[in-house]
Amino acid sequence: MITAAPTPAARPQTDPALDPIRDKVLAGDRLSLDDGTTLYATRDLWSVIELADLVRRRMHGDKAYYNINRHLNYS
């Protein structure tokens, strides 16, 4: 039986520089190059993960896909 992983409790955002980025993500707006630089430079990794997961769920739902590649060596 396959079950979904439990959603972790919301963590407080610790980097105030992520506030405008969070607002853009929630509004569905595109991020700028400066926003990307801020995401790359922040030490608040969990907030970045939560923002990325929010975008992923909005685009693809709560489904995960995988691919199995098998390469048979006949020698």
Determine the pLDDT at residue 68.
Answer: 92
The Cα–Cα gap between 51 and 15 comes to 13
**Per-domain residue ranges of the chain:** 16-60
Sequential pLDDT tens for the chain (75 residues): 666 555 556 677 789 999 999 999 999 999 999 999 999 999 999 999 999 999 999 998 988 788 999 888 887
CA distances for 28 relative to 60, 65, 67, angstroms? 14, 24, 29
- Helix or strand or coil: residue 10? coil
Determine the pLDDT at residue 13.
Answer: 76
Which amino acid is present at 20?
P
